[in-house]
Chain A
Amino acid sequence: MMEALVHLLMVFLILANLRLLGGTRLNVCIVTVAAQGAALGLLPIMLHPFSMTLHALIVAAAAVVLKGWLFPRLLKRALRDAGVEREVAPYVGFTPSMLFGVLALGLGALLARKLPLPAPDSSPLLVPVALATMLTGLFLIVARRQALMQVVGYLALENGIFAFGAVVMKEAPLLVEMGILLDIFVAVFVMGIMVFHISREFDHTDTERLSELKDWTP
C-alpha cells in the first residue's frame, strides 16, 4: 500500500519536473515547485510508516508548511511587487528543455546504478528521480533569464536534495533538519528581496542584463 503511494509520488515528481521545464508562465512554475516540495515533505512518512516518531512528524509538517505555503506566497508577492514580466523568458526553448528533462531521468537511473545505496530498502525509483530533480533545478538556473525563475530552479534543486536526504538521513537529529529548512527559507526570503530590488532598479528581472561587472571591457 505504502509502496504504491511512494511510486505514485515519484510519478508526480517526474511530471512536476516536466511541467517546470515546459512552463511558460512564472505563476504556474511557482505553484508547481511548491506542490512538488509539499508532496516531498510527506515522503519521509510514506517511507517509514510504522516507525513514525514525533520528530519525523514535526519535520514533515514544517517542510509542507514552508515549501507548500510560505515559499509560493513569498515568491508571488515578489512577482506582484516587481510587477513586470509574467512570461518565462528562456535561453533554451521549451521543447529542448522537456527533452533535457527526459534525458536527466535517464542519467539519474544510470548514476543510481553506479552508486548502490548501503540500505536498499526503499523504492528503486527514488534515487533516479531525486537526481533528475536536482539536474532539472540546475538546468532551470542556467537556462532561464528571470531572477525569479532562477529562484524556482534553486528550489527544485533543493527538492531533489531533500528527496535524496529522506532516503539516507533516517535518523538525522531534528536540530540539523530544522536548521536546513530554516536556511533554505531564509535563502528564498533574501532572494525574494533581491528580485524586488532588481526589478525596481532596472525595471526588469532579466539577469542577462546584469552584466556590468567583468574583467575585460573592450
Chain B
Amino acid sequence: MTLCLLFVVVPAVAGLLAFVLRSAPARRALLVLAALAHTGLTVWAWVTRPAVAPDAWLGLDATALWFLTITSVLFLAASVYAIGYLRRDAVTRANEDEDEDEPDDESFFQPVPEAIFCGCLLLFLAAMTLTIMSRHFGLLWVAMEATTLASAPLIYFHRTPRSLEATWKYLLICSVGIALALLGTFFLAASAGAGTDLTLDALTRHAARLDPRWLKAALLLLLVGYGTKMGLAPLHAWLPDAHSEAPSVVSALLSGTLLNAAWVGVLRLHQLCVAAGLGAFSRDLLVLFGLTSLAVAAMFIIGQRDYKRLLAYSSVEHMGLLALGMGLGGAAVTGSLLHAAGHSLAKGLLFLTAGNLLAAFRSKKVADVRGALTVTPASGALWLVGLFAITGAPPFVTFVSELMIARTAFAGGRWVVAALYLVLLAVVFIGMAAIFLRMALGAPSKDRRKPEARLAWWPPLVLAVLAAALGLCWPAPLAGLLREAAATLGGGP
C-alpha cells in the first residue's frame, strides 16, 4: 500500500514543484529524476512483488504491474527525449519573440509554457499510475478523468489554432465519454445493490448476486466511456487530431501509455464480467469493437497524407488488436497483453522519430518528406526500423503477439474473424510500408545533411532494442507475470 502511494505521490509532488520552479535546467532535471524514481519504484515492485490486500483500493496485481512497467519505461524514454525537445523549442521560441513586438502579457492563465509542460507531464504520469493501480471502480473513474485534464494543456503546448481545435475536441469528446462511464459506474453500483463496496474484490466475491441486466448496461456504458478514451472505433474521433497536433513527446505518451491506461479500465470490467459469468457477452463486444477498429484504421491509413495522423490511426488499429485478442480468449489473452508492450515500444519509437523528422523537414505532410535516410540518417533508419516493429515483422515482439492471436482464432475455429484479421493486417502493412518507404528513400529535395542531437535519437533507439529483445526472449519472471495476469482475465494456455 505504501509502495502504491509512493508511485503516485512522487510524480505528483514533482509535478507541482515543476510549476513553481523558475530555472529551466532545474525543471528539466526534475522531470528526468522523477521519471527515474518511478522506474526505480517499478524495479522495486518487481523484486518484492507486494501482495494485494483484500478489498484494497490500490494494488499491484500482475495486470497492474505489467502495464505500469510499460508506462514507466516509455515515460523515462520520453522524458529524456523531452530535454532535447525543450531545448530546441526554447531556441525557436526566443527567435520568434524577437520578431513579435506585441508583448504577450495578458495574464489570464498564462504562466511560462515550459513550466506548465513539465508540470502537466508529471501530473499526467501520476494520474495514469493511479488509473492502472486502482482497484475501486469509483477511484478508477476519478483517475481516468484526471488523465484527460492533465494531458489537455500538453496538447495545446504550441498554442496554434490547430492545436487549440484538437484540444477542444479532445476535452469535450473524452469528457462526455467519461461522463457516460460515470453513469456506468453508478449502474454497476445499482447491480450490486446497497451495501456492496465498489472494489474489484468485493464485487468479484458477490459476482453471483449481481443483477445481470444492470451489469450488462454498466458494461456497455463503461466500454463506450473508456473505449472513447482508448480510441476504439467508432469512438476514436478525438484521437487523430490530438495525436497529430500535440508535440511529438506528448503524442508518444498519449499513444503508448494513455491508451493503455484506458485499456486497463476496460480490463478491470472484463475481469469482473468473467467472474460474474458474463464473460461470453463481454468477449463478443470486445471482438466486435476490435474488428471495427482494425477496419476503420485500415481505411484511413491507406493514402494518408499526414504522417503523424498515420501513426494515430495505427494506434486505433493496435487498440483494436488488444480488444480482439482479449475477446478471443485462450492464449490470445497472453498475446493481447504482450501486444500492449509491443505497441507501446514501437509507437513510442515512431512518434519520437516523427518529432525528429518534423524538426528536420518542418512539415507533417508525407509529400514533403523525401530521402530521410540521406538528410537525417539516424532518424531515417529508426523510421524504417519502426515500420517493421509496428507492423509485426520478426524479430519484434509484435510478431510474436500477433501470431498468438491469429493461432487462437484458427484453433478456436473462428474462421471469419481470423480471415478478416489477416486481411486487414495485410492492408495496413501495405498502406504503411508504401508511405514509410517513400519518406525514407528517394532523393531529397534539398540534399543537405541536417545535424541531429544525440538526445533526439538515443531514446527511440533504446525503445527499438527493447522491442526486439522482448520478441527474442522472455525471461522467466516475465512469462510468469503474464500467465498470472491472463488467468484473471479468462485466458488459458
Q: Does A19 have its Cβ within 8 Å of any Cβ on chain B?
A: no
Size category of the A interface is 35 or more
Q: Does B183 have its Cβ within 8 Å of any Cβ on chain A?
A: yes
Q: Does A213 have its Cβ within 8 Å of any Cβ on chain B?
A: yes
| Residue in A118, A179, A194 whose beta carbon sits within 8 Å of that of B139 in the complex | A179
Q: How far is the CB of A170 from chain B (nearest CB, A)?
A: 6
Q: Does B162 have its Cβ within 8 Å of any Cβ on chain A?
A: yes
Q: Does B108 have its Cβ within 8 Å of any Cβ on chain A?
A: yes
CB neighbours (8 Å) of B300 from chain A are 215
CB neighbours (8 Å) of A134 from chain B are 183
Residue pair B176, A190 in contact (C-beta under 8 Å): no
User: Known contacts being A180-B182, A215-B240, is A186 close to B168, with CB within 8 Å?
Assistant: no
| Residue in A119, A176, A212 whose beta carbon sits within 8 Å of that of B136 in the complex | A176
| Residue in A117, A180, A183, A197 whose beta carbon sits within 8 Å of that of B156 in the complex | A197
Complex: how many Å from CA A118 to CA B186?
13
Q: Does A50 have its Cβ within 8 Å of any Cβ on chain B?
A: no
Residue pair B175, A194 in contact (C-beta under 8 Å): no
- B residues 172-202 touching A (CB-CB < 8 Å): 172, 175-176, 179, 182-183, 186-187, 189-191, 193-195, 198
Q: Does B317 have its Cβ within 8 Å of any Cβ on chain A?
A: no
Q: Does A138 have its Cβ within 8 Å of any Cβ on chain B?
A: yes
Q: How far is the CB of A44 from chain B (nearest CB, A)?
A: 13
Q: How far is the CB of B351 from chain A (nearest CB, A)?
A: 18
Complex: how many Å from CA A118 to CA B212?
12
Query: Per-residue 0/1 for A171-185: is the Cβ within 8 Å of any B Cβ (1 yes, 0 no)?
Result: 111011001101100
Q: Does B458 have its Cβ within 8 Å of any Cβ on chain A?
A: no
CB neighbours (8 Å) of B214 from chain A are 115, 118
Q: Does B245 have its Cβ within 8 Å of any Cβ on chain A?
A: yes
Residue pair A202, B136 in contact (C-beta under 8 Å): no
Residue pair A187, B145 in contact (C-beta under 8 Å): yes
Residue pair A168, B186 in contact (C-beta under 8 Å): yes
Q: Does B42 have its Cβ within 8 Å of any Cβ on chain A?
A: no
CB neighbours (8 Å) of B159 from chain A are 197
Residue pair B183, A164 in contact (C-beta under 8 Å): yes
Query: Per-residue 0/1 for A140-167: is the Cβ within 8 Å of any B Cβ (1 yes, 0 no)?
Result: 0100000100100010011001001100
Size category of the B interface is 35 or more
Residue pair A183, B145 in contact (C-beta under 8 Å): yes
Complex: how many Å from CA A77 to CA B195?
42
CB neighbours (8 Å) of A193 from chain B are 108-109
Q: Does B152 have its Cβ within 8 Å of any Cβ on chain A?
A: yes
- B residues 148-181 touching A (CB-CB < 8 Å): 148-149, 152-153, 156, 159, 161-162, 164-169, 171-172, 175-176, 179
Which residue of chain B has its CB nearest to the CB of A183?
B145
Complex: how many Å from CA A35 to CA B22?
42
User: Known contacts being A154-B179, A183-B146, is A207 close to B241, with CB within 8 Å?
Assistant: no
Which residue of chain B has its CB nearest to the CB of A186?
B149
Q: Does A169 have its Cβ within 8 Å of any Cβ on chain B?
A: yes
Complex: how many Å from CA A147 to CA B168?
9
| Residue in A154, A169, A179, A211 whose beta carbon sits within 8 Å of that of B176 in the complex | A154
| Residue in A138, A168, A175 whose beta carbon sits within 8 Å of that of B190 in the complex | A168
| Residue in A138, A158, A179, A191 whose beta carbon sits within 8 Å of that of B138 in the complex | A179
Which residue of chain A has its CB nearest to the CB of B309?
A215
Residue pair B168, A207 in contact (C-beta under 8 Å): yes
Residue pair B189, A168 in contact (C-beta under 8 Å): yes
Query: Per-residue 0/1 for B279-309: is the Cβ within 8 Å of any A Cβ (1 yes, 0 no)?
Result: 0000000000000000000001000100001
CB neighbours (8 Å) of A169 from chain B are 186, 189
Complex: how many Å from CA A119 to CA B331?
41
Q: Does B211 have its Cβ within 8 Å of any Cβ on chain A?
A: yes
Which residue of chain A has its CB nearest to the CB of B245?
A213
Residue of A117, A171, A197 with most chain B CB atoms under a 10 A cut-off: A197
18 A–B contacts from the bound complex (CB under 8 Å): A118-B191, A147-B168, A157-B176, A161-B182, A168-B186, A172-B138, A176-B136, A179-B138, A179-B142, A182-B142, A183-B142, A183-B145, A183-B149, A190-B171, A197-B164, A213-B166, A213-B169, A215-B304
Residues of A at the B interface (CB closer than 8 Å) are 81, 115, 117-119, 134, 138, 141, 147, 150, 154, 157-158, 161, 164-165, 168-173, 175-176, 179-180, 182-183, 186-187, 190-191, 193-194, 196-198, 200-202, 207, 210-213, 215
Nearest first, the 10 A-B pairs at minimum CB distance are A176-B138, A179-B142, A183-B145, A210-B165, A213-B241, A118-B193, A168-B190, A168-B189, A165-B186, A168-B186
